[in-house]
Structure 1
Amino acid sequence: MTSKTNKKIIVSLLIIMICAVSSLLVYNILSDYGNYYEQTTIVKEEIIEEENINDLNVRGLKADFKLVENTTDNTIIVRQYSNKKIKDRDLVNTSVVGQSLKVQDSRGSWVVFDLSFLSSRRGENYIEISIPKDRLEHLKINQSSGSLTFDTFNLKSFDLSLGSGSITGNTIISEKIDLNTSSGEIEINTLQGDGNIKLSSGKNTYTNLDGTMDIKVTSGKLTAGHYIGSSDIKLSSGKLTFNEASFL
Protein backbone atom coordinates (compact mmCIF):
# COMPACT_ATOMS: atom_id res chain seq x y z
CA MET A 1 0.00 0.00 0.00
CA THR A 2 1.50 3.29 -1.12
CA SER A 3 1.94 6.37 0.98
CA LYS A 4 -0.56 8.20 -1.23
CA THR A 5 -3.19 5.52 -0.56
CA ASN A 6 -2.58 5.75 3.19
CA LYS A 7 -3.14 9.50 3.10
CA LYS A 8 -6.45 9.03 1.23
CA ILE A 9 -7.62 6.52 3.85
CA ILE A 10 -6.70 8.84 6.72
CA VAL A 11 -8.46 11.81 5.08
CA SER A 12 -11.55 9.69 4.44
CA LEU A 13 -11.66 8.56 8.08
CA LEU A 14 -11.30 12.13 9.30
CA ILE A 15 -14.15 13.26 7.05
CA ILE A 16 -16.36 10.44 8.35
CA MET A 17 -15.54 11.37 11.96
CA ILE A 18 -16.24 15.07 11.37
CA CYS A 19 -19.58 14.25 9.73
CA ALA A 20 -20.54 11.93 12.61
CA VAL A 21 -19.68 14.52 15.27
CA SER A 22 -21.51 17.27 13.35
CA SER A 23 -24.60 15.09 13.01
CA LEU A 24 -24.53 14.32 16.75
CA LEU A 25 -24.27 18.02 17.63
CA VAL A 26 -27.17 18.94 15.35
CA TYR A 27 -29.27 16.10 16.79
CA ASN A 28 -28.56 17.23 20.37
CA ILE A 29 -29.45 20.83 19.58
CA LEU A 30 -32.74 19.90 17.90
CA SER A 31 -33.79 17.35 20.54
CA ASP A 32 -32.61 19.55 23.41
CA TYR A 33 -34.62 22.55 22.25
CA GLY A 34 -37.92 20.85 23.08
CA ASN A 35 -36.79 20.23 26.66
CA TYR A 36 -36.85 23.91 27.62
CA TYR A 37 -39.63 25.65 29.51
CA GLU A 38 -40.60 29.15 28.44
CA GLN A 39 -39.00 30.43 31.65
CA THR A 40 -37.25 29.15 34.76
CA THR A 41 -39.86 27.35 36.85
CA ILE A 42 -40.17 25.28 40.02
CA VAL A 43 -39.66 21.61 39.19
CA LYS A 44 -39.85 20.42 42.81
CA GLU A 45 -41.02 21.98 46.07
CA GLU A 46 -40.96 20.57 49.59
CA ILE A 47 -42.40 22.36 52.62
CA ILE A 48 -40.92 21.22 55.94
CA GLU A 49 -43.26 22.15 58.76
CA GLU A 50 -41.42 20.54 61.70
CA GLU A 51 -40.94 23.36 64.19
CA ASN A 52 -38.00 21.82 66.08
CA ILE A 53 -35.53 21.94 63.16
CA ASN A 54 -32.59 24.24 63.93
CA ASP A 55 -29.80 22.42 62.08
CA LEU A 56 -29.30 22.66 58.30
CA ASN A 57 -26.88 20.35 56.51
CA VAL A 58 -26.31 21.19 52.84
CA ARG A 59 -24.34 18.78 50.67
CA GLY A 60 -23.70 20.04 47.17
CA LEU A 61 -22.22 17.59 44.70
CA LYS A 62 -22.53 19.73 41.58
CA ALA A 63 -25.62 21.90 41.98
CA ASP A 64 -25.93 25.62 42.69
CA PHE A 65 -27.60 26.53 46.00
CA LYS A 66 -29.18 29.71 47.36
CA LEU A 67 -29.94 30.15 51.08
CA VAL A 68 -32.57 32.85 51.61
CA GLU A 69 -34.65 34.07 54.52
CA ASN A 70 -38.31 33.06 54.76
CA THR A 71 -40.08 36.16 56.04
CA THR A 72 -43.60 34.83 55.38
CA ASP A 73 -44.03 32.08 57.98
CA ASN A 74 -42.09 29.63 60.18
CA THR A 75 -41.71 26.84 57.61
CA ILE A 76 -38.64 25.76 55.69
CA ILE A 77 -39.17 25.54 51.93
CA VAL A 78 -36.86 23.74 49.51
CA ARG A 79 -37.38 24.53 45.85
CA GLN A 80 -35.55 23.32 42.80
CA TYR A 81 -35.69 25.63 39.79
CA SER A 82 -34.90 24.86 36.18
CA ASN A 83 -35.68 26.12 32.73
CA LYS A 84 -35.21 22.61 31.38
CA LYS A 85 -37.06 19.36 31.95
CA ILE A 86 -35.11 17.03 34.23
CA LYS A 87 -35.70 13.44 35.26
CA ASP A 88 -37.22 12.43 38.59
CA ARG A 89 -34.01 10.70 39.63
CA ASP A 90 -32.18 14.02 39.31
CA LEU A 91 -34.40 15.96 41.71
CA VAL A 92 -33.13 17.35 45.02
CA ASN A 93 -33.22 15.04 48.04
CA THR A 94 -34.28 16.09 51.55
CA SER A 95 -34.42 14.19 54.83
CA VAL A 96 -35.21 15.11 58.44
CA VAL A 97 -33.54 13.37 61.38
CA GLY A 98 -34.38 14.80 64.78
CA GLN A 99 -33.67 18.52 64.66
CA SER A 100 -31.56 18.31 61.50
CA LEU A 101 -32.60 18.88 57.89
CA LYS A 102 -30.31 17.50 55.20
CA VAL A 103 -30.55 18.83 51.65
CA GLN A 104 -28.52 17.22 48.88
CA ASP A 105 -28.54 17.45 45.12
CA SER A 106 -28.81 14.22 43.15
CA ARG A 107 -25.77 12.08 42.49
CA GLY A 108 -26.95 11.92 38.90
CA SER A 109 -26.08 14.48 36.25
CA TRP A 110 -29.16 16.67 36.72
CA VAL A 111 -27.05 19.64 35.69
CA VAL A 112 -27.89 18.86 32.11
CA PHE A 113 -25.43 18.90 29.23
CA ASP A 114 -25.94 22.27 27.62
CA LEU A 115 -24.75 23.27 24.17
CA SER A 116 -25.27 26.91 25.03
CA PHE A 117 -22.48 28.04 22.75
CA LEU A 118 -24.48 26.70 19.81
CA SER A 119 -27.95 27.59 21.03
CA SER A 120 -29.87 30.76 21.82
CA ARG A 121 -31.09 29.14 25.06
CA ARG A 122 -29.06 28.41 28.17
CA GLY A 123 -29.72 25.81 30.86
CA GLU A 124 -30.36 27.14 34.35
CA ASN A 125 -30.71 24.91 37.43
CA TYR A 126 -30.46 25.77 41.10
CA ILE A 127 -31.81 24.81 44.52
CA GLU A 128 -33.24 27.45 46.87
CA ILE A 129 -33.61 26.85 50.60
CA SER A 130 -35.88 29.36 52.30
CA ILE A 131 -35.58 29.31 56.09
CA PRO A 132 -36.62 31.65 58.93
CA LYS A 133 -33.40 33.32 60.00
CA ASP A 134 -34.10 33.11 63.74
CA ARG A 135 -34.67 29.33 63.63
CA LEU A 136 -31.28 28.34 62.32
CA GLU A 137 -28.62 27.62 64.97
CA HIS A 138 -26.27 25.24 63.16
CA LEU A 139 -25.28 25.47 59.50
CA LYS A 140 -23.08 22.85 57.85
CA ILE A 141 -22.10 23.13 54.19
CA ASN A 142 -20.15 20.50 52.29
CA GLN A 143 -19.78 21.72 48.72
CA SER A 144 -17.91 19.47 46.29
CA SER A 145 -18.60 21.66 43.28
CA GLY A 146 -21.11 24.21 42.03
CA SER A 147 -21.85 27.41 43.94
CA LEU A 148 -23.67 28.49 47.09
CA THR A 149 -24.85 31.95 48.11
CA PHE A 150 -26.34 33.18 51.40
CA ASP A 151 -27.33 36.45 53.06
CA THR A 152 -27.00 36.84 56.85
CA PHE A 153 -27.14 34.26 59.66
CA ASN A 154 -26.53 34.44 63.41
CA LEU A 155 -25.52 30.92 64.52
CA LYS A 156 -24.10 28.74 67.26
CA SER A 157 -21.92 26.82 64.80
CA PHE A 158 -20.85 27.30 61.19
CA ASP A 159 -19.06 24.43 59.46
CA LEU A 160 -17.99 24.90 55.85
CA SER A 161 -16.00 22.50 53.67
CA LEU A 162 -15.35 23.50 50.05
CA GLY A 163 -13.80 21.07 47.61
CA SER A 164 -14.30 23.20 44.54
CA GLY A 165 -16.72 25.78 43.18
CA SER A 166 -17.56 28.96 45.06
CA ILE A 167 -19.23 30.20 48.26
CA THR A 168 -20.49 33.80 48.44
CA GLY A 169 -22.20 35.33 51.46
CA ASN A 170 -22.96 38.52 53.32
CA THR A 171 -22.62 37.94 57.08
CA ILE A 172 -21.97 34.98 59.38
CA ILE A 173 -21.90 35.60 63.14
CA SER A 174 -21.25 32.32 64.95
CA GLU A 175 -20.00 31.14 68.32
CA LYS A 176 -17.99 28.41 66.61
CA ILE A 177 -16.48 28.50 63.11
CA ASP A 178 -14.73 25.80 61.13
CA LEU A 179 -13.78 26.56 57.51
CA ASN A 180 -11.82 24.22 55.28
CA THR A 181 -11.03 25.06 51.65
CA SER A 182 -9.36 22.44 49.46
CA SER A 183 -9.88 24.47 46.31
CA GLY A 184 -12.35 26.93 44.89
CA GLU A 185 -13.21 30.36 46.28
CA ILE A 186 -14.91 31.69 49.42
CA GLU A 187 -16.01 35.32 49.57
CA ILE A 188 -17.78 36.52 52.72
CA ASN A 189 -18.41 40.13 53.64
CA THR A 190 -18.35 39.68 57.45
CA LEU A 191 -17.21 36.59 59.36
CA GLN A 192 -17.36 36.94 63.13
CA GLY A 193 -16.66 34.29 65.76
CA ASP A 194 -14.05 31.92 67.13
CA GLY A 195 -12.65 28.90 65.35
CA ASN A 196 -10.45 27.61 62.55
CA ILE A 197 -9.75 28.65 58.98
CA LYS A 198 -7.77 26.18 56.89
CA LEU A 199 -6.85 26.95 53.30
CA SER A 200 -5.08 24.24 51.28
CA SER A 201 -5.58 25.93 47.93
CA GLY A 202 -7.92 28.36 46.23
CA LYS A 203 -8.89 31.77 47.57
CA ASN A 204 -10.57 33.17 50.71
CA THR A 205 -11.67 36.81 50.83
CA TYR A 206 -13.26 38.56 53.82
CA THR A 207 -14.12 42.24 54.03
CA ASN A 208 -14.35 42.02 57.84
CA LEU A 209 -12.87 39.21 59.93
CA ASP A 210 -13.45 39.33 63.66
CA GLY A 211 -12.66 36.84 66.44
CA THR A 212 -10.12 34.39 67.78
CA MET A 213 -8.92 32.40 64.78
CA ASP A 214 -6.45 29.62 64.14
CA ILE A 215 -5.48 30.32 60.54
CA LYS A 216 -3.48 27.81 58.51
CA VAL A 217 -2.60 28.53 54.89
CA THR A 218 -0.79 25.73 53.07
CA SER A 219 -1.25 27.30 49.65
CA GLY A 220 -3.61 29.68 47.92
CA LYS A 221 -4.51 33.19 49.02
CA LEU A 222 -6.34 34.58 52.07
CA THR A 223 -7.24 38.26 52.22
CA ALA A 224 -9.05 40.21 54.93
CA GLY A 225 -9.85 43.87 54.47
CA HIS A 226 -10.15 44.48 58.21
CA TYR A 227 -9.26 42.07 61.03
CA ILE A 228 -9.87 42.41 64.78
CA GLY A 229 -8.99 39.62 67.18
CA SER A 230 -6.25 37.21 68.12
CA SER A 231 -4.77 34.60 65.83
CA ASP A 232 -2.47 31.64 65.67
CA ILE A 233 -1.22 31.91 62.10
CA LYS A 234 0.67 29.23 60.20
CA LEU A 235 1.73 29.98 56.64
CA SER A 236 3.47 27.21 54.67
CA SER A 237 3.06 28.74 51.24
CA GLY A 238 0.68 30.99 49.38
CA LYS A 239 -0.27 34.49 50.54
CA LEU A 240 -1.95 36.00 53.61
CA THR A 241 -2.95 39.68 53.58
CA PHE A 242 -4.62 41.87 56.23
CA ASN A 243 -5.21 45.38 54.88
CA GLU A 244 -5.98 46.57 58.42
CA ALA A 245 -5.43 44.50 61.56
CA SER A 246 -5.84 44.96 65.33
CA PHE A 247 -4.45 42.00 67.27
CA LEU A 248 -5.78 41.63 70.81
Structure 2
Amino acid sequence: MELEMKFQKLKDNIQGLKSVAIAYSGGVDSTFLLKVAADVLGNKVIAITAKSTTYPEREFKEAVKYIEDIGAKHIVIISEELEIEGFAKNPIDRCYFCKKELFSKVRKVADDNNINAVLDGSNADDVSDYRPGMKAANELRVISPLKDAFLTKDNIRELSKRLGLPTWNKPAFACLSSRFPYGNEITVEKLSMVERAEQFLLDLGFRQIRVRHHGDIARVEVNAEERNKFFSTEMMDKVANELKSIGFKYVTLDLLGYRTGSMNEVLSDKEKNSVEALD
Protein backbone atom coordinates (compact mmCIF):
# COMPACT_ATOMS: atom_id res chain seq x y z
CA MET A 1 0.00 0.00 0.00
CA GLU A 2 1.39 3.42 -0.94
CA LEU A 3 2.40 5.70 1.90
CA GLU A 4 -0.16 8.37 1.02
CA MET A 5 -2.93 5.79 1.08
CA LYS A 6 -1.79 4.54 4.47
CA PHE A 7 -1.68 8.08 5.81
CA GLN A 8 -5.18 8.82 4.56
CA LYS A 9 -6.46 5.56 6.03
CA LEU A 10 -5.00 6.58 9.39
CA LYS A 11 -6.69 9.98 9.30
CA ASP A 12 -10.01 8.49 8.20
CA ASN A 13 -9.91 5.90 10.99
CA ILE A 14 -9.16 8.54 13.62
CA GLN A 15 -11.88 10.82 12.26
CA GLY A 16 -14.41 8.04 12.71
CA LEU A 17 -13.58 7.70 16.40
CA LYS A 18 -14.82 11.26 17.18
CA SER A 19 -12.74 11.59 20.38
CA VAL A 20 -9.64 9.78 21.61
CA ALA A 21 -7.30 9.34 24.56
CA ILE A 22 -3.75 8.41 23.58
CA ALA A 23 -1.34 6.49 25.80
CA TYR A 24 1.53 8.87 25.19
CA SER A 25 5.20 8.12 25.93
CA GLY A 26 6.89 10.81 23.87
CA GLY A 27 8.40 8.33 21.44
CA VAL A 28 8.36 8.43 17.65
CA ASP A 29 5.09 6.52 17.25
CA SER A 30 2.95 8.10 19.95
CA THR A 31 4.12 11.62 19.07
CA PHE A 32 3.19 11.11 15.43
CA LEU A 33 -0.15 9.60 16.43
CA LEU A 34 -0.88 12.50 18.76
CA LYS A 35 -0.02 15.08 16.09
CA VAL A 36 -2.29 13.46 13.50
CA ALA A 37 -5.12 12.99 15.99
CA ALA A 38 -4.87 16.61 17.11
CA ASP A 39 -4.93 17.79 13.48
CA VAL A 40 -7.98 15.65 12.73
CA LEU A 41 -10.00 15.96 15.96
CA GLY A 42 -8.78 19.20 17.49
CA ASN A 43 -9.67 19.48 21.18
CA LYS A 44 -11.29 16.04 21.21
CA VAL A 45 -7.87 14.53 21.97
CA ILE A 46 -6.24 13.86 25.34
CA ALA A 47 -2.63 12.71 25.74
CA ILE A 48 -2.10 10.58 28.85
CA THR A 49 1.40 9.96 30.16
CA ALA A 50 2.22 7.53 32.97
CA LYS A 51 5.07 8.38 35.34
CA SER A 52 6.93 5.54 37.04
CA THR A 53 10.40 4.40 38.05
CA THR A 54 10.67 2.54 34.73
CA TYR A 55 10.22 5.79 32.76
CA PRO A 56 13.36 7.99 32.70
CA GLU A 57 12.95 11.61 33.71
CA ARG A 58 14.59 12.75 30.46
CA GLU A 59 11.86 10.99 28.47
CA PHE A 60 9.11 12.53 30.57
CA LYS A 61 10.48 16.05 30.12
CA GLU A 62 10.75 15.55 26.37
CA ALA A 63 7.19 14.21 26.23
CA VAL A 64 5.86 17.26 28.04
CA LYS A 65 7.68 19.58 25.64
CA TYR A 66 6.36 17.78 22.55
CA ILE A 67 2.80 18.00 23.82
CA GLU A 68 3.20 21.72 24.53
CA ASP A 69 4.44 22.19 20.96
CA ILE A 70 1.47 20.26 19.55
CA GLY A 71 -0.96 22.06 21.84
CA ALA A 72 -2.92 19.03 23.04
CA LYS A 73 -4.50 18.50 26.45
CA HIS A 74 -2.18 16.48 28.70
CA ILE A 75 -2.95 14.41 31.78
CA VAL A 76 -0.21 12.75 33.85
CA ILE A 77 -1.03 9.64 35.85
CA ILE A 78 1.03 7.46 38.18
CA SER A 79 1.50 3.87 37.11
CA GLU A 80 4.06 2.21 39.37
CA GLU A 81 4.72 -1.18 37.85
CA LEU A 82 6.82 -2.44 40.76
CA GLU A 83 3.68 -2.38 42.91
CA ILE A 84 1.92 -4.83 40.58
CA GLU A 85 1.92 -8.32 42.08
CA GLY A 86 4.45 -10.50 40.28
CA PHE A 87 5.92 -7.75 38.07
CA ALA A 88 9.18 -7.29 39.99
CA LYS A 89 9.96 -11.00 39.59
CA ASN A 90 10.26 -10.26 35.87
CA PRO A 91 8.38 -13.18 34.28
CA ILE A 92 8.38 -13.58 30.50
CA ASP A 93 4.89 -12.03 30.36
CA ARG A 94 6.00 -9.01 32.43
CA CYS A 95 4.82 -6.58 29.76
CA TYR A 96 1.30 -7.96 29.99
CA PHE A 97 1.00 -6.89 33.63
CA CYS A 98 2.52 -3.50 32.87
CA LYS A 99 0.24 -2.75 29.92
CA LYS A 100 -2.84 -4.01 31.72
CA GLU A 101 -2.15 -1.59 34.58
CA LEU A 102 -1.42 1.27 32.17
CA PHE A 103 -4.35 0.76 29.82
CA SER A 104 -6.77 0.26 32.72
CA LYS A 105 -5.81 3.66 34.10
CA VAL A 106 -5.89 5.32 30.68
CA ARG A 107 -9.32 3.77 30.07
CA LYS A 108 -10.61 5.25 33.34
CA VAL A 109 -9.35 8.73 32.42
CA ALA A 110 -10.99 8.37 29.01
CA ASP A 111 -14.30 7.32 30.57
CA ASP A 112 -14.16 10.17 33.11
CA ASN A 113 -13.70 12.64 30.24
CA ASN A 114 -16.38 11.10 27.98
CA ILE A 115 -13.79 10.02 25.41
CA ASN A 116 -14.87 7.35 22.94
CA ALA A 117 -11.66 5.44 22.29
CA VAL A 118 -8.25 4.67 23.80
CA LEU A 119 -5.33 4.51 21.36
CA ASP A 120 -1.76 3.31 21.56
CA GLY A 121 1.21 3.76 19.24
CA SER A 122 1.81 0.16 18.18
CA ASN A 123 2.82 0.00 14.52
CA ALA A 124 2.88 -2.63 11.78
CA ASP A 125 6.42 -3.73 12.67
CA ASP A 126 5.47 -4.60 16.25
CA VAL A 127 3.64 -7.75 15.23
CA SER A 128 6.97 -9.36 14.29
CA ASP A 129 8.41 -9.22 17.83
CA TYR A 130 7.38 -10.93 21.05
CA ARG A 131 4.97 -8.44 22.67
CA PRO A 132 2.73 -9.91 25.41
CA GLY A 133 1.49 -6.39 26.13
CA MET A 134 -0.72 -6.67 23.06
CA LYS A 135 -2.87 -9.16 24.96
CA ALA A 136 -3.67 -6.49 27.54
CA ALA A 137 -4.45 -4.01 24.77
CA ASN A 138 -6.92 -6.44 23.23
CA GLU A 139 -8.59 -7.16 26.55
CA LEU A 140 -9.14 -3.46 27.24
CA ARG A 141 -10.27 -2.64 23.69
CA VAL A 142 -7.30 -0.40 22.97
CA ILE A 143 -7.09 0.57 19.30
CA SER A 144 -3.78 0.67 17.42
CA PRO A 145 -4.51 2.92 14.42
CA LEU A 146 -0.92 2.99 13.16
CA LYS A 147 -0.91 -0.79 12.96
CA ASP A 148 -4.39 -0.85 11.44
CA ALA A 149 -3.21 1.52 8.70
CA PHE A 150 -0.20 -0.78 8.01
CA LEU A 151 2.25 1.99 8.90
CA THR A 152 5.76 0.74 9.63
CA LYS A 153 8.36 2.50 11.77
CA ASP A 154 10.10 3.80 8.64
CA ASN A 155 6.77 5.10 7.31
CA ILE A 156 6.12 6.90 10.58
CA ARG A 157 9.57 8.48 10.63
CA GLU A 158 9.12 9.71 7.05
CA LEU A 159 5.69 11.19 7.74
CA SER A 160 6.91 12.69 11.03
CA LYS A 161 9.69 14.45 9.13
CA ARG A 162 7.16 15.85 6.66
CA LEU A 163 5.08 17.17 9.56
CA GLY A 164 8.13 18.81 11.14
CA LEU A 165 8.06 16.69 14.27
CA PRO A 166 11.36 16.73 16.22
CA THR A 167 10.90 13.04 17.01
CA TRP A 168 11.20 11.89 13.38
CA ASN A 169 14.76 10.67 13.97
CA LYS A 170 14.54 10.06 17.71
CA PRO A 171 16.18 6.77 18.76
CA ALA A 172 13.87 3.91 19.69
CA PHE A 173 13.03 3.67 23.37
CA ALA A 174 11.53 1.02 25.64
CA CYS A 175 10.82 1.14 29.36
CA LEU A 176 13.78 0.43 31.63
CA SER A 177 12.33 -2.92 32.71
CA SER A 178 13.39 -4.29 29.33
CA ARG A 179 17.05 -4.09 30.42
CA PHE A 180 16.80 -7.13 32.69
CA PRO A 181 16.95 -10.83 31.75
CA TYR A 182 13.66 -12.59 32.42
CA GLY A 183 13.61 -14.03 35.93
CA ASN A 184 16.04 -11.45 37.34
CA GLU A 185 14.29 -9.35 39.97
CA ILE A 186 13.68 -5.68 39.12
CA THR A 187 14.20 -3.13 41.90
CA VAL A 188 14.19 0.66 42.17
CA GLU A 189 17.94 0.58 42.82
CA LYS A 190 18.66 -1.47 39.70
CA LEU A 191 16.42 0.75 37.56
CA SER A 192 18.32 3.78 38.85
CA MET A 193 21.64 2.17 37.93
CA VAL A 194 20.45 1.57 34.37
CA GLU A 195 19.02 5.08 33.98
CA ARG A 196 22.22 6.72 35.23
CA ALA A 197 24.42 4.53 33.03
CA GLU A 198 22.36 5.22 29.93
CA GLN A 199 22.24 8.95 30.62
CA PHE A 200 26.04 8.94 30.87
CA LEU A 201 26.37 7.29 27.46
CA LEU A 202 23.87 9.72 25.95
CA ASP A 203 25.85 12.62 27.40
CA LEU A 204 28.95 11.20 25.69
CA GLY A 205 27.14 11.55 22.36
CA PHE A 206 25.90 8.00 21.75
CA ARG A 207 22.43 8.04 20.18
CA GLN A 208 20.89 4.57 20.36
CA ILE A 209 21.93 2.79 23.54
CA ARG A 210 20.89 0.14 26.01
CA VAL A 211 22.61 -0.88 29.24
CA ARG A 212 21.44 -4.40 29.99
CA HIS A 213 21.62 -5.30 33.68
CA HIS A 214 23.04 -8.80 34.23
CA GLY A 215 23.64 -8.66 37.98
CA ASP A 216 27.22 -7.46 38.48
CA ILE A 217 27.66 -7.10 34.72
CA ALA A 218 26.59 -4.20 32.51
CA ARG A 219 26.18 -5.24 28.86
CA VAL A 220 26.33 -2.11 26.74
CA GLU A 221 24.58 -2.04 23.38
CA VAL A 222 25.09 0.84 20.96
CA ASN A 223 24.14 1.24 17.31
CA ALA A 224 26.25 -0.88 14.99
CA GLU A 225 27.81 2.20 13.39
CA GLU A 226 28.73 3.62 16.81
CA ARG A 227 30.68 0.58 18.02
CA ASN A 228 33.95 1.92 16.63
CA LYS A 229 33.82 4.74 19.21
CA PHE A 230 34.92 2.12 21.74
CA PHE A 231 38.14 1.40 19.83
CA SER A 232 39.91 3.85 22.09
CA THR A 233 41.42 3.08 25.48
CA GLU A 234 40.34 6.52 26.68
CA MET A 235 36.69 5.84 25.82
CA MET A 236 36.76 2.31 27.24
CA ASP A 237 38.31 3.50 30.50
CA LYS A 238 35.87 6.40 30.79
CA VAL A 239 32.80 4.20 30.32
CA ALA A 240 34.07 1.37 32.50
CA ASN A 241 35.05 3.66 35.38
CA GLU A 242 31.74 5.53 35.34
CA LEU A 243 29.57 2.41 35.18
CA LYS A 244 31.60 0.84 37.98
CA SER A 245 31.06 3.94 40.08
CA ILE A 246 27.33 3.48 39.50
CA GLY A 247 27.51 -0.02 40.97
CA PHE A 248 28.43 -2.52 38.25
CA LYS A 249 31.50 -4.71 38.88
CA TYR A 250 32.12 -5.59 35.24
CA VAL A 251 31.41 -3.61 32.07
CA THR A 252 31.11 -5.30 28.68
CA LEU A 253 30.32 -4.23 25.12
CA ASP A 254 27.87 -6.34 23.11
CA LEU A 255 29.76 -6.98 19.89
CA LEU A 256 26.57 -7.21 17.83
CA GLY A 257 25.45 -3.77 18.93
CA TYR A 258 21.93 -2.58 19.67
CA ARG A 259 18.94 -4.52 18.38
CA THR A 260 15.39 -4.27 19.58
CA GLY A 261 14.20 -7.05 21.87
CA SER A 262 17.62 -8.58 22.48
CA MET A 263 16.39 -9.99 25.79
CA ASN A 264 13.83 -12.02 23.84
CA GLU A 265 16.55 -13.87 21.92
CA VAL A 266 16.85 -16.45 24.68
CA LEU A 267 13.14 -17.32 24.63
CA SER A 268 12.08 -20.46 22.82
CA ASP A 269 9.10 -20.47 20.48
CA LYS A 270 7.34 -22.68 23.01
CA GLU A 271 7.77 -20.07 25.76
CA LYS A 272 6.52 -17.27 23.52
CA ASN A 273 3.54 -19.31 22.39
CA SER A 274 2.63 -20.23 25.95
CA VAL A 275 1.95 -16.55 26.63
CA GLU A 276 0.47 -15.60 23.26
CA ALA A 277 -1.92 -18.57 23.43
CA LEU A 278 -3.69 -16.77 26.26
CA ASP A 279 -5.12 -14.25 23.74
Instruction: State the TM-score bracket (shorter-chain normalisation).
Output: under 0.3
Considering only CA atoms, is the larger Rg found in Structure 1 or Structure 2?
1
Q: Which has the higher contact order (CA 8 A, sep 6+)?
A: 2
Q: Per residue, is there more strand in 1 or in 2?
A: 1
By percentage of residues, which structure has more helix?
2
In the superposition, the TM-score normalised over structure 1's length comes to 0.27
Give the TM-score taking structure 2 as reference length: 0.24
